[in-house]
Amino acid sequence: MTTNTVLTLVGSLRADSHNRKLAEAIALNAPENVDVQIHGSLGSIPFYNEDIDVEGQVPAEAAALRAAAAEADTLLLVTPEHNGTMPASLKNAIDWLSRPFGAGALAGKPTAVVGTAFGQYGGVWAQDEVRKAVGIAGAKVLDEVKLAVPGSMVRFAELHPKDDAEVVEQIKGIFEPLTAAEEEAAA
């Protein structure tokens, strides 16, 4: 059985982030043939600047992100909602992964977007913005993968998402399209 590697990027930089906890719950509930790898903090990656995106000068953190994305079968972006859109850290990661234009690590890469936010819609505006950005960057956006958990500040105040039966059930539903996309890309 082939293992599908899912590189997971968490847009929140906060140590006690609900989105990082959601990513952990996703990793814990992955099927046996899916290896969910949560990338380190996006906060250490410098803002994209074409002047430093030169062979031999690419910052180590950005180069490591590109290498991890290139090695992964699929990407999963887990985003909070900041002022109705995605956080700058996630947008910056997308910018690094989109270059060089047409040949970046996102080119043709099956990519899904999920998340949780305080509002009543669970961050769907941010998720839509992330889907738009990665699609423009060349990723194959998996629109059928949906998971937007509302009320994160209250819902996860004392409960980790891995212990929320409703969230766990929703998490289980994201793996079939992720795996199918990887198999389709490999064919």
Q: For the segment 86-114, what is each residue's pLDDT rounded down to a tens digit? A: 999 999 999 999 999 888 999 999 999 99
Q: What letter does residue 5 receive in the DSSP assignment? A: E
Measure the CA–CA gap between 23 and 34, rounded to whole angstroms: 14
Q: Per-residue pLDDT tens for 4-39?
A: 999 999 999 998 999 999 999 999 999 999 999 999
> Helices in 43-151 by DSSP H: which ranges?
60-71, 88-98, 124-136
pTM for the structure as a whole: 0.95
